Amino acid sequence: MKHEVKHRAKALWLLAAIGFGTASLSVCCLSQEPDLLRRARFVATGDQWEFPENYTWVSASRQFCKRGYSYKRVVQAGLFWFDAKTKTVTYDRGLKALVEEYSGAELSPDHKWLLSGIIRKHDVPHQEPRFFYDLVPIHGGSTIRREVDSHFMGVKWCLDSRHWVEFTGKHVASPGSPAGINMSSQPMEIQRVAISSIDGPGRMRTIEVSPRSLLRVPGVLGSRQNPFYEMLVVGMDRFLTWTPQTYPSANIVVREISLQGAKPLHKYVLTPPRKHYLIQLIPSLDGKQFLWKLSEGIKATPAEAAEYERRTHLHYFGSSRASLWVSRIDGTVMHEIGAAPSSVNPMEYGGRTDPETGEPNENPVPRLIRWLPDGKHISFAYKRDLYTVSTE
């Protein structure tokens, strides 16, 4: 009898230990605290920050933000400033009145000017619409409107904040594309650029891009519908471009090209860490560094898969480790800043995706990553809250 009680107690202890271990496994493997957050400094909650669609740091503690309209949101749409010290949001109604279309608007590197998004107007019924964009001074002054044609692709500021470049061209079908394919999803071919200066915004220097130029190669700017995620305008005739990664550990080719050059001015081959996939590559404000957002797949162990399936009745293939790294523009001196493991099963999520990276919105990963003006810190959103972290 005594031995029976003893063995029963031992069995109960083992079951409790296994249960505790399983619970620990579930917490550790599926929801462990990211080491990125342990290094980072908390700035504001998502409610305090009002979680904008886009933002730019204009100082170490102040942001310029924008948010479009959405029927699902009760928060206000518009242009606003966020003070990280006081945690206050101030809507700029005067500026919003000057900016007719702020979706796709781009702030100059010195934060003094705003190029609006494309404005579409139907002046005459049953005729083709006209297209415009505006140059708007942030701190008061007259708005200057520029009319463009239907082949207009977009604008980008030069790093000097004095000039901007207007791109014109067309989408071209990829080799082997089926007939009737949606051309807006196909690579862009830039055929013409126009360079303007804030000192004489009404005057533009238009340049036809040579058919021999690397800038004219379809897809040289990347595969996104908005290719300018993969471009930095270093100067009026210097463009830094990089190609998206096609499979884990593949090299990323960075080229500095000119308007008419058939060969790059500079070419760098960047090699990510083994088994990592590039999600996003963000150049620093001075064009000297890259911030890397990488993803590493982590295969589930049999114990993890069994526990996940028991709790959710869904198959668990594993998780992905989202990490942030920094390097020089040529890929040297690369080091990791921190990581945040993802807990979303790839078979579960659906719905809306991040417009910057294409990742599912349900995936708890660092988002809205931006450089701070000092070039030594970055900011990111994690589960809607705002953080900053040193890159050193």
Looking at the fold, whether 285 and 262 belong to one and the same domain comes out as: no
In a domain, residue 202? The reply is yes
The residue type of 90 is T
Looking at the fold, whether 315 and 229 belong to one and the same domain comes out as: no
| pLDDT, tens only, 151-161 | 888 899 999 99
Looking at the fold, whether 231 and 331 belong to one and the same domain comes out as: no
Instruction: Tell me what the mean pLDDT of segment 206-228 comes to.
Output: 74
Number of independent structural domains in the chain = 2
User: What proportion of the chain, given as a percentage, has pLDDT over 70?
Assistant: 76
Find which of 120-134, 282-296, 313-327 is predicted with most confidence, using mean pLDDT: 282-296
Q: What is the DSSP string of 329-384?
A: TTS-S-EEEEEEE----TTT--S-B-TTT--BTTS---EEEEE-TTSSEEEEEETT
Q: What is the pLDDT of residue 103?
A: 79
Q: Write phi, then psi, for 102 (nearest 5 degrees).
A: -105, 0
Looking at the fold, whether 280 and 392 belong to one and the same domain comes out as: yes
| pLDDT, tens only, 162-185 | 999 999 988 887 777 777 776 666
SS3 221: coil
Q: What is the pLDDT of residue 297?
A: 73
Residue ending a domain, among 232, 249, 271, is 271
pLDDT band at 20 (very low <50, low <70, confident <90, very high): very low
In a domain, residue 189? The reply is yes
pLDDT band at 51 (very low <50, low <70, confident <90, very high): confident
Instruction: Tell me what the mean pLDDT of segment 75-82 comes to.
Output: 82
**Would you give the DSSP letter of residue 60?**
S
pLDDT band at 6 (very low <50, low <70, confident <90, very high): very low
Nearest CA among 321, 304, 300, 317 for reference residue 363: 321
In a domain, residue 316? The reply is yes
Distance CA 205, CA 236 (A): 10
Residue ending a domain, among 211, 244, 271, is 271
Looking at the fold, whether 299 and 381 belong to one and the same domain comes out as: yes
| pLDDT, tens only, 319-340 | 678 899 999 999 999 999 999 8
In a domain, residue 83? The reply is no
pLDDT band at 221 (very low <50, low <70, confident <90, very high): low
Which range, of 70-84, 108-122, 246-260, averages the lowest pLDDT?
70-84
Looking at the fold, whether 168 and 264 belong to one and the same domain comes out as: yes
Instruction: Tell me what the mean pLDDT of segment 284-311 comes to.
Output: 81
Look up residue 8 and give its two tokens: 């029963």
pLDDT at 33 over 80: no
From residue 78, how far is each of 29, 94, 104, 143 by CA, in Å?
Answer: 40, 11, 13, 18
Distance CA 327, CA 307 (A): 39
Q: What is the pLDDT of residue 71?
A: 43
More confident residue, 25 or 344: 344
Longest dimension (CA), the chain: 100
In a domain, residue 287? The reply is yes
pLDDT band at 351 (very low <50, low <70, confident <90, very high): low
**Would you give the DSSP letter of residue 247?**
S
Looking at the fold, whether 249 and 282 belong to one and the same domain comes out as: no
Looking at the fold, whether 266 and 282 belong to one and the same domain comes out as: no
Distance CA 2, CA 193 (A): 91
In a domain, residue 156? The reply is no
Residue ending a domain, among 271, 288, 314, is 271
In a domain, residue 250? The reply is yes
Q: Which domain does 320 fall in, by range?
A: 34-51+275-392
pLDDT band at 31 (very low <50, low <70, confident <90, very high): very low
User: What proportion of the chain, given as a percentage, has pLDDT over 90?
Assistant: 39
8 A C-beta contact, residue 22 and residue 305: no
| pLDDT, tens only, 365-390 | 899 999 999 999 999 999 889 999 99
Looking at the fold, whether 293 and 352 belong to one and the same domain comes out as: yes
Looking at the fold, whether 372 and 354 belong to one and the same domain comes out as: yes
Which range, of 183-187, 192-196, 256-260, averages the lowest pLDDT?
183-187
Q: What is the pLDDT of residue 178?
A: 76
Which range, of 100-114, 296-310, 329-343, averages the lowest pLDDT?
296-310
Residue whose token pair is 């198959």: 315
**Would you give the DSSP letter of residue 102?**
-
Q: What is the pLDDT of residue 52?
A: 87
Q: What is the pLDDT of residue 88?
A: 93
Q: What is the pLDDT of residue 29?
A: 37
Q: Where are the beta strands (DSSP E) in 14-129?
A: 41-44, 54-57, 62-67, 78-83, 88-91, 106-107, 113-115, 119-121
In a domain, residue 145? The reply is no
